[in-house]
Chains A and B, each alone.
Chain A
Amino acid sequence: MSRIGVVVFPGSNCEYDAVAAVERLGDQAEFVWHTRTDLNGIDGVILPGGFAHGDYLRPGALARFSPVMGAVERFAADGGPVLGICNGFQVLVEAGMLPGALQKNRGLTFLCQPTTLVVSSTSSVLTRGASVGQELVVPINHFSGSYTCDDETHDELVRNGQIVLRYKENPNGSRDDIAGVANKAGNVVGLMPHPERAMSMLLGSADGVVLFESFLGVKVEQPALAH
């Protein structure tokens, strides 16, 4: 049983969905308001999707200065698992906790659609329960999701197995079809797709379950998730 802190900035909007995904797998989740400076007793942190601080200036550019981010950085430095989904990924990148940057989509429109992801590395807290090459149907929902980085960083990401998920068909112009990356230690992961939206066949896909199971470090009976 884990206790997961879901960080809420003003303008976050996927915080309830993140909590629902955690609770669906039998763990506990609680909101962590962005002004908090400690994460006492929390076993993992999720930075959920949304538009933290209105995405003013640039997605994540203001949220990285919220008081809670200092605590999140310390938590990560101590090896604690941190997951940034969509806007949360953008925040982690702006905070320098993950390499690279997220640009506006090729095509310059917001995109909400299912995508097929391919697991590229299992050396992260998000993908350790999956297998390399496994395909997962998970929706995307973003305007600024085109991942980019310089050549040197890219080489390093490849070398260290930090590219954890790739798009099977690139929807947004991301470099090397990158959908999600981890830090070198594998305990901090960010991805643009929304695994919390893929937890039930009633909503079209349960392929996010393997990712959340990995993150939560639990195994749940598969049949319970069939609907």
Chain B
Amino acid sequence: MSSPQPLHRALGLTDSELESIREVLGREPNSLELALYGVMWSEHCSYKSSRIHLRRLPTEAPHVLVGPGENAGVIDAGDGIAVAIRIESHNHPSAIEPYQGAATGVGGILRDVFTMGARPLAVMDPLFFGELSDARQRWLVEGVVSGISGYGNSVGVPTIGGELTFDDCYASNPLVNVLCCGALPTERLVLGVASGVGNLAVLLGSSTGRDGIGGVSVLASAGFDGADGAESLDDAKRPSVQVGDPYEEKRLIEACLALLDDGLVVGIQDLGGAGIVCATSETAARGGVGMDVDVTAIPLREAGMQPFEIMTSESQERMLAIITPENWAAVAALCAKWEVRASIVGHVVEPTIDANGRAVAMLRVRQGFDGEVLAEVPANSLADEAPLYDRPMARPADLDAVNADDPSDDEPVGSPNDDLLDLLMDPAWVYRQYDSQLFLNTVVGPGRDAALLRLAGPGLPYSERGIALSTDSNPRWCALDPRAGTALTVAESVANLACVGATAKAVVNCLNFGNPEHPEVMWQLSESIDGMTEACLGLGLPVIGGNVSLYNESGGHDIDPTPVVGLLGVIDSLVAPPPGWGWREGDDIVLVGTRHADSDYRFPLGGSRWATRRGRRGGHLAHFDAETLAAAIDFVTGEVAAICAGSPSDVTAVHDIGGGGLAVALAEMVAVTALGARVVELEGHAELFSEFPGRFVMATNDVEAFLARAEVAGVPVTHLGTVGGQDFRIGSMVNVSVEEVGARRRGALEESLAAVG
């Protein structure tokens, strides 16, 4: 038995952080106060390792209504409609309890969005697991997907896309990111602010239990010890995973939106990580007012809960509304209709004047509103004043050797034909389990380049516009060069939106990295942020929100850097669907964009799926060139947007060339249309499988007209071949039947999941 550690360390606070707390308070904190700081100063809540770097991201544009730091970013989409978007991670809980971890991730992100007054309209889920040859990974995939399905479908928000990546680096640290987008009439935008002394803080929704205590600190702000990534790492932390109830959340959404519609709330805030202490301290800090919270007024799920448990519990499906006393009766009646519990748990009070005459927004936890003060801490010190760390950074010592070991000269192992079939995978098994159509907005759903939705929903003014969403990441690229890899990921995302005719408007990011106390990880994070900054500045995009998930490590091994880019775009007129991948017999197939990469190699294979499948993880990436990318992207966006606006066009298909390269893009179009293609001889297998963004496969039934338009736009086009027949051929390298392409692609995922092991 080891001797018990001091309380502050057990709560995740360092010795120097304890010293900072003593300075803030001017006295020794009691154990409840320590518990409040423990959760609020956790990495997950405070961004203490990343905040100094995040400041470098560009965040402004004329259409940005709310930038980073609020519950969700918001843009003006036109026609009196604002669109709110947010992305988060639920990695650590999902590693331990995949169903509930993923389910509560959906619940949490929805609350972030309807907190802004927006009705959640779409969810996307980028998922990362280890290879499916491992039985534990299959258990994780099935658990996470059924958790998203079980919660998302029931709560009534469509899941319209995501990503699915398998790589051994996630074997012990699966990543479950979740993005939510919602819309609201622009004038209804609300912020999580407490104001008006005498107002009431009303807790809505579920009772408070012991689930999820320390979720942000014990779970999300530390790595896993288990070296084998197996059961050993899980059991002790399982009680820190919350349990979700989508039916409670559904009623909570409807009740909160009705409260906002009726103008009954002054401010509203979701309860997520760090529970009541987070919601009350953030609203009080933003409003510059004090808040008295009565722990005895909070409805509890079980007996004998201690004040620190009540204040830090992460029980799901709860919201905090700030209301005037006059509106209490109306609020209570409306909540009763929706069978949502509402309890007055706090009072907004005057700020406290400190010894220097300054007003301090003080959070007081009391035993009864007039009872004993159990804790008394400045709200800002909890919410905004966690210590910031400029942690040491170091470029990984082996990176030069990794870069030098370039697979671009490797010969194919089998035939290019076999290598191609090996790369095909249809994620339909995943997205078939998600309701992707609710609200009748989904013009392009999951499994394509980007999702495209009508900009419509209950309570919104009429609009002919649409919004497009894409999530993208490429850890293979980012492991080789986190700066260029992240910049190229942003470019890839913008290119995906182009395929549905939408112009990119705003970025949100979810930065999934390893242990920030490893200097190599901090270097990766810093480089990645610089790459995102470069790309966003180059392509004119603001970053309006994000999330940082650190400590994705197990047994001392960090995941590859995994910045996930969520991109929101707008299309001005959406009256007809974009062409998608649906080419037709006899069409000409063209490659739009530069044929060769801006790189030492004409067709770099470093970081490609082709190389990674062969265990080759070294090499260099193409360079990021904003001007060349923007030219191709603008051209494609214009071509597709015209079709969506109802104009006749010779363009019959558009597909971004992404993971797997040109050959995979072509094979996917063959698979979904069941129409073959005859493509000219290319420059070897590297051209088939090289991955660099800014290239598109398009099909046209009037190639002369198409080439003429591309020439005017100054965008290079390469004629690749024609559509037709029941064979898919690329020169002398690929020759496979349409049927086999379809069967291999369809079966890949389900066969892997069904493997006995």
Judged by a CB distance under 8 angstroms, whether B440 is at the interface is yes
Chain B nearest CB from A167 CB (Å) reads 15
Chain A nearest CB from B333 CB (Å) reads 14
| Contact call B154/A55, Cβ cutoff below 8 A | yes
Residues of A within 8 A of B339 (CB): 10
A51 to B433 alpha-carbon distance, docked (Å): 16
Judged by a CB distance under 8 angstroms, whether A126 is at the interface is no
A204 to B431 alpha-carbon distance, docked (Å): 17
With A13-B156, A16-B458, A54-B246 as contacts: A203 and B442 at CB distance below 8 Å: yes
> Which of A33, A51, A112 is within 8 Å of B250, CB to CB?
A51
| Contact call A203/B443, Cβ cutoff below 8 A | yes
CB under 8 Å from chain B, chain A span 36-57: 50-51, 53-56
CB under 8 Å from chain A, chain B span 316-344: 337-339
| Contact call A111/B576, Cβ cutoff below 8 A | no
A53 to B154 alpha-carbon distance, docked (Å): 10
Q: Which of B245, B250, B440, B576 has the most CB of A within 10 A?
A: B440
Judged by a CB distance under 8 angstroms, whether A17 is at the interface is yes
| Contact call B250/A199, Cβ cutoff below 8 A | no
| Contact call B440/A199, Cβ cutoff below 8 A | yes
A111 to B433 alpha-carbon distance, docked (Å): 5
Q: Whose C-beta in chain B lies nearest to the C-beta of A194?
A: B437
| Contact call A109/B250, Cβ cutoff below 8 A | no
A189 to B247 alpha-carbon distance, docked (Å): 26
| Contact call A112/B435, Cβ cutoff below 8 A | yes
Residues of A within 8 A of B156 (CB): 13, 50-51
Q: Which of B431, B437, B458 has the most CB of A within 10 A?
A: B437
Judged by a CB distance under 8 angstroms, whether A14 is at the interface is yes
A33 to B334 alpha-carbon distance, docked (Å): 13
A67 to B4 alpha-carbon distance, docked (Å): 58
A227 to B439 alpha-carbon distance, docked (Å): 17
| Contact call A203/B440, Cβ cutoff below 8 A | yes
> Which of A11, A16, A113 is within 8 Å of B251, CB to CB?
A11
Q: How large is the interface on B (under 10, 10 to 19, 20 to 34, 35 or more residues)?
A: 35 or more
Residues of A within 8 A of B574 (CB): 202
Residues of A within 8 A of B251 (CB): 10-11
A17 to B454 alpha-carbon distance, docked (Å): 13
Q: Whose C-beta in chain A lies nearest to the C-beta of B436?
A: A112
CB under 8 Å from chain B, chain A span 57-113: 109-113
Chain B nearest CB from A64 CB (Å) reads 17
Chain A nearest CB from B282 CB (Å) reads 29
Interface string of A11-29 (1 = CB under 8 A from B): 1011011001000000000
| Contact call B458/A54, Cβ cutoff below 8 A | no
Judged by a CB distance under 8 angstroms, whether A180 is at the interface is no
| Contact call B439/A110, Cβ cutoff below 8 A | no
Judged by a CB distance under 8 angstroms, whether A177 is at the interface is no
| Contact call A17/B439, Cβ cutoff below 8 A | yes
A33 to B258 alpha-carbon distance, docked (Å): 15
Q: Which of B150, B433, B575, B646 has the most CB of A within 10 A?
A: B433
| Contact call A11/B458, Cβ cutoff below 8 A | no
| Contact call A16/B439, Cβ cutoff below 8 A | yes
| Contact call B250/A13, Cβ cutoff below 8 A | yes
A137 to B250 alpha-carbon distance, docked (Å): 30
Interface string of A113-141 (1 = CB under 8 A from B): 10000000000000000000000000101
Q: Whose C-beta in chain B lies nearest to the C-beta of A112?
A: B435
With A16-B458, A203-B443 as contacts: A51 and B434 at CB distance below 8 Å: no
Judged by a CB distance under 8 angstroms, whether A196 is at the interface is yes
> Which of B245, B247, B436, B576 is within 8 Å of A227, CB to CB?
B576
Chain B nearest CB from A96 CB (Å) reads 24
| Contact call A112/B442, Cβ cutoff below 8 A | no
CB under 8 Å from chain A, chain B span 141-168: 146, 149-150, 153-156
| Contact call A202/B576, Cβ cutoff below 8 A | yes
> Which of B149, B247, B337, B442 is within 8 Å of A51, CB to CB?
B247
> Which of A13, A109, A200, A202 is within 8 Å of B432, CB to CB?
A109
| Contact call A54/B438, Cβ cutoff below 8 A | no
Residues of B within 8 A of A139 (CB): 437
Judged by a CB distance under 8 angstroms, whether B577 is at the interface is yes
A53 to B338 alpha-carbon distance, docked (Å): 11
Residues of A within 8 A of B439 (CB): 16-17
Residues of B within 8 A of A14 (CB): 438
Q: Whose C-beta in chain A lies nearest to the C-beta of B154?
A: A51
| Contact call B575/A202, Cβ cutoff below 8 A | yes
Count how many chain A residues have C-beta atoms less than 8 Å from C-beta atoms of the other chain.
32
A116 to B592 alpha-carbon distance, docked (Å): 36
Judged by a CB distance under 8 angstroms, whether A166 is at the interface is no
Residues of A within 8 A of B438 (CB): 13-14, 17, 141
| Contact call A202/B577, Cβ cutoff below 8 A | yes
| Contact call A113/B440, Cβ cutoff below 8 A | no
A96 to B638 alpha-carbon distance, docked (Å): 55
A20 to B435 alpha-carbon distance, docked (Å): 18
Chain B nearest CB from A114 CB (Å) reads 10
| Contact call B247/A53, Cβ cutoff below 8 A | yes
| Contact call A202/B247, Cβ cutoff below 8 A | no
A49 to B220 alpha-carbon distance, docked (Å): 37
| Contact call A197/B440, Cβ cutoff below 8 A | yes
Interface string of B544-584 (1 = CB under 8 A from A): 00000000000000000000000000000011110000000
CB under 8 Å from chain A, chain B span 218-275: 245-247, 250-251, 254
Q: Whose C-beta in chain B lies nearest to the C-beta of A55?
A: B154
Chain B nearest CB from A26 CB (Å) reads 17
| Contact call B437/A197, Cβ cutoff below 8 A | yes
A56 to B248 alpha-carbon distance, docked (Å): 12
Residues of B within 8 A of A10 (CB): 247, 250-251, 254, 338-339
Residues of A within 8 A of B155 (CB): 13
Residues of A within 8 A of B433 (CB): 109-112
Chain B nearest CB from A227 CB (Å) reads 6
Chain A nearest CB from B685 CB (Å) reads 35
| Contact call A227/B154, Cβ cutoff below 8 A | no
Chain B nearest CB from A112 CB (Å) reads 5
A143 to B431 alpha-carbon distance, docked (Å): 14
| Contact call A141/B440, Cβ cutoff below 8 A | no
Q: Whose C-beta in chain A lies nearest to the C-beta of B253?
A: A13
A55 to B154 alpha-carbon distance, docked (Å): 9
A141 to B247 alpha-carbon distance, docked (Å): 18
| Contact call A110/B577, Cβ cutoff below 8 A | no
| Contact call B575/A227, Cβ cutoff below 8 A | yes
Chain A nearest CB from B677 CB (Å) reads 24
A11 to B250 alpha-carbon distance, docked (Å): 6
| Contact call B149/A110, Cβ cutoff below 8 A | yes
CB under 8 Å from chain B, chain A span 177-210: 194, 196-197, 199-204
Residues of B within 8 A of A199 (CB): 440
With A110-B433, A202-B575, A227-B575 as contacts: A54 and B440 at CB distance below 8 Å: no
Q: Which of A33, A113, A139 has the most CB of B within 10 A?
A: A113
| Contact call A112/B247, Cβ cutoff below 8 A | no
Residues of B within 8 A of A51 (CB): 153-154, 156, 246-247, 250
> Which of A13, A55, A112 is within 8 Å of B434, CB to CB?
A112
A51 to B154 alpha-carbon distance, docked (Å): 6
- Interface residues in chain A, defined as those with a beta carbon under 8 Å from any beta carbon in chain B: 10-11, 13-14, 16-17, 20, 33, 50-51, 53-56, 109-113, 139, 141, 143, 194, 196-197, 199-204, 227
List, sorted by A's number, 30 A–B pairs whose CB atoms are closer than 8 Å.
Answer: A10-B251, A10-B254, A10-B338, A13-B155, A13-B438, A16-B457, A17-B440, A33-B337, A51-B154, A51-B246, A51-B247, A53-B247, A54-B250, A110-B146, A110-B149, A111-B433, A112-B153, A112-B431, A112-B435, A112-B436, A139-B437, A141-B153, A194-B437, A196-B440, A199-B440, A201-B577, A202-B577, A203-B440, A203-B443, A204-B577
9 new A-B pairs (CB below 8 Å) besides A20-B440, A55-B154, A202-B576? A17-B440, A109-B146, A109-B149, A110-B150, A110-B434, A112-B435, A141-B153, A194-B437, A204-B577
- Interface residues in chain B, defined as those with a beta carbon under 8 Å from any beta carbon in chain A: 146, 149-150, 153-156, 245-247, 250-251, 254, 337-339, 431-440, 442-443, 454, 457-458, 574-577, 646
For the complex of A and B, list the 8 residue pairs with the smallest distance between their C-beta atoms, beginning with the closest.
A54-B247, A13-B156, A51-B154, A110-B433, A110-B149, A16-B458, A112-B435, A141-B435
